[in-house]
Amino acid sequence: MIKRGLPTRRVQSFSEVLNKVNEIVGRVKREGDLALMELTYELDKVKLESLILDEEVIEARSGLLPREVRSSIDLIWEQLTSFHELIKPPSLGGGNRNVEYGILWRPLDRVGIYVPGGKRSYPSTLMMAGIPAVIAGVGEIYVATPVKGDLDPATAYISKKLKVKRIYPVGGAQAIAALAYGTETVQRVDKIVGPGNVYVQAAKFIVSGDVGIDGIEGPTELVVIADETADPKSVALDLMAQGEHGNSSLLVLISNSDEVLEKVSGLLQGDNEFYLVKANTLDEAVEMANGIAPEHLSLYTSRARELLPKVRNAGAVTLGKTPPALIDYSAGPDHILPTNGWARFRGGVTVYDFLKAISYVNAVDADKELAESARTLAEYEGFSIHGRSIGVRYE
Ligand SMILES: NC(=O)c1ccc[n+]([C@@H]2O[C@H](COP(=O)([O-])OP(=O)(O)OC[C@H]3O[C@@H](n4cnc5c(N)ncnc54)[C@H](O)[C@@H]3O)[C@@H](O)[C@H]2O)c1
Ligand SMILES: N[C@H](CO)Cc1c[nH]c[nH+]1
Ligand SMILES: [Zn+2]
């Protein structure tokens, strides 16, 4: 369905389902494995025999992966690794006023990766979360994913490459609750990473007081800014591609060319909502996109490089005719990207999501003036013992 003008809201937001998801999370917290079994039956119509996938089954499923898909995964593995290795931060140390200080980047001990699997299978997502986790040096990786029938062979193959500890064949909010609080069978983790539908993201939001989360990565979003140099067929394909994720995808085309808008409008098919918007200039188009803060932004214009510095809010940007779907699979940067406006304050998943910065200080020989300034400010705040604890050492 074509709509004219800017969208005023997301097609579906996690905040609309918080009440329902709260109940699911509470049930898993109270009843553990039993709730997981029952909810998987109620919501997914799957009768689980076990909450852990057997290693022999994973091995056997992995063996079924066609050779060319395995080779593609191996090639993509190297490309994603090269990106996350490039941006992995070094531990840094320095000093001032005889204070030695620095930062140690430490990997998380245990991470849970949610791999969506409601409508489609997402082995690519397992790589997008797992590779930066491995590069960061995460101790243990656990995976939760809804499994209808048998495990996807590509998911099995990638899990083996990542040395995943366990795969739990559970999806939805119940999987997130289990990873957050643990059950008799499911290991509680330090952080949950991964995209999913609004139920999955609502659950991540609810448990985020008790476990780390990577943000909100819900239904896919794409804004394309196209000028008269853009190929209407490619633009239509880019929009329909992200529509493949489901009817909740947010799909917007902004153009300064009436001709591009009309041609793309004539090519769009399927039952997604497509928003078509006229901008007077490309700069105005970028401002509109900044207001939306989309997950994916495509600058399909001959001025892409010039416009890039004006982009303030977007999860990932593709330049010129680069297809956004290349980020989804093999370009290098992650496809786990913020949605629902969260691109205003965070970017996509990177190796940083699996690291924490621990700062350290060695001030045994600190400059007296510096110590004195701390003592003065502590006393000003009324924290006299803080002041004395400093003063007694540097007199
Ligand atoms: N932003 C990103 O980085 C990114 C990346 C990949 C995919 N995605 C998005 O992930 C989503 C995947 O969604 P999906 O549904 O295919 O798989 P999913 O695994 O996210 O969700 C499936 C689970 O949802 C639960 N569920 C379904 N209907 C429910 C209901 N009415 N009440 C309670 N629970 C319910 C079920 O338990 C099911 O197991 C898509 O919207 C896609 O756009 C986003
Ligand atoms: N477009 C999704 C991120 O929004 C990622 C994805 C995975 N597979 C296909 N696409
Ligand atoms: Zn996609």
pLDDT exceeding 70 applies to what percent of the chain? Answer: 100
* Residue 10 Cβ < 6 Å to ligand 2: no
Active site residue 295: yes
The alpha carbon of 219 and the centre of ligand 2 are apart by a number of angstroms equal to 9
Pocket lining: 328 vs ligand 2, CB cutoff 6 Å: yes
- Are 112 and 136 spatial neighbours (Cβ–Cβ below 8 Å)? no
Strand 355-362 and strand 99-107: pairing? antiparallel
Nearest to 222 by CA among 371, 360, 327: 327
Q: What is the pTM of this model?
A: 0.97
Closest of 361, 354, 362, 366 to residue 391, by C-alpha: 366
Question: How many Å lie between the centroid of ligand 3 and the Cα of residue 326?
Answer: 9
C-beta 122 within 6 A of ligand 2: yes
Domain that holds residue 103: 14-213
For residue range 140-157, what is the model confidence (pLDDT) as tens digits?
A: 999 999 999 999 999 999
115 lines ligand 2 (CB under 6 A): no
Kindly report the number of other CB atoms within 10 A of residue 182's CB atom: 16
- Do 262 and 293 lie in one domain? The reply is yes
pLDDT digits (tens, 9 = 90+) for 186-240: 999 999 999 999 999 999 999 999 999 999 999 999 999 999 999 999 999 999 9
Q: Which residues contact 33 (CB under 8 A, 6 or more apart)?
A: 51, 183, 184, 185, 186
Boundary residue ending a domain (173, 193, 213): 213
Residue 115's Cβ-side half-sphere holds a number of Cα atoms within 13 Å equal to 29
Cβ–Cβ < 8 Å for 229, 255: no
pLDDT tens digits, 6-45 = 999 998 899 999 999 999 999 999 999 999 999 999 999 9
Q: Is residue 110 part of a domain?
A: yes
Show which of 184, 213, 242 is a domain's final residue: 213
Quick check: is 85 in a domain? Answer: yes
Write the DSSP symbol of residue 188: P
Q: Are residues 80 and 30 in the same domain?
A: yes
| 296 marked as binding residue | yes
pLDDT tens digits for 280-290? 999 999 999 99
- CA atoms of 23 and 44, how far apart (whole Å): 17
Residue nearest atom 1 in ligand 1 by C-alpha distance: 217
Q: Is residue 395's pLDDT more than 90?
A: no
Q: Which amino acid is at 354?
A: F
- Please indicate, yes or no, if residue 353 is contained in any of the structural domains: no
Q: Are 12 and 199 in contact (CB under 8 A)?
A: no
Alpha helix (H) residue ranges in the chain: 18-31, 33-44, 55-63, 67-87, 123-136, 153-162, 172-181, 198-207, 232-243, 258-267, 282-292, 304-307, 324-329, 368-380, 384-394
Based on the domain organization, do 228 and 128 belong to the same domain? no
The answer to whether residues 184 and 99 belong to one domain is yes
**Is residue 198 located within the same domain as residue 235?**
no
Other residues' Cβ atoms within 10 Å of the Cβ of residue 119: 11
Residues with Cβ within 8 Å of residue 258, at least 6 apart in sequence: 278
CATH of the domain at 101: 3.40.50.1980
Task: Tell me how far CA of residue 393 lies from CA of 187, 216, 352, 367, 379, in angstroms.
Answer: 45, 47, 37, 12, 16
358, 106 contact by CB (below 8 A): yes
Last residue of a domain, one of 198, 213, 228: 213
Q: Is 197 in the pocket of ligand 2 (CB under 6 A)?
A: no
ipTM of this complex prediction, to 2 decimal places: 0.99
> Phi-psi bin for 196: left (phi > 0), alpha (psi -120 to 50), beta?
left
Query: What pLDDT, in 10s, does the model give residues 127-142?
Result: 999 999 999 999 999 9
Element (H, E) at 222: strand 221-226
Q: 372: pLDDT confidence band, cut at 50, 70 and 90?
A: very high
Q: Tell me if 5 is assigned to some domain.
A: no
Confirm whether 347 is domain-assigned.
no
CA-proximal residue: ligand 2, atom 10 (nearest): 328
> Could you report the per-residue pLDDT of 36-92, keeping only the tens digit for each?
999 999 999 999 999 999 999 999 999 999 999 999 999 999 999 999 999 999 999
Q: Which residue has its alpha carbon closest to ligand 1 atom 15? A: 118
| Residues 209 and 225 occupy one common structural domain | no
299-317 as b/e: b if 16+ CB within 10 A: bbbeebeebeeeeebbbbb
Query: Which residue has the CA at smallest separation from atom 1 of ligand 2?
Result: 328
In the DSSP assignment, the letter for residue 90 is P
**Is 335 in the active site?**
no
Same domain? For 194 and 150 the reply is: yes
237 and 311 inside one domain: yes
Residue 87 lies in a domain: yes
Same domain, 113 and 257: no
Q: How many CB atoms lie within 10 A of CB 259?
A: 10
What is the C-alpha separation between 206 and 353, in angstroms, rounded?
A: 19
Q: Is 352 annotated as a binding residue?
A: no
- Please tell me whether residues 127 and 31 are part of one structural domain: yes
Span from the CA of 100 to the centroid of ligand 2 (angstroms): 44
Half-sphere exposure of 146 (CA within 13 A, CB side): 24
**And the tokens for 138?**
């995460």
Beta bridge partners of residue 224, listed in sequence order: 253, 298
Shared-domain flag, residues 18 and 51: yes
Residue 341 belongs to a domain: no
Residues 127 and 53 placed together within one structural domain of the fold: yes
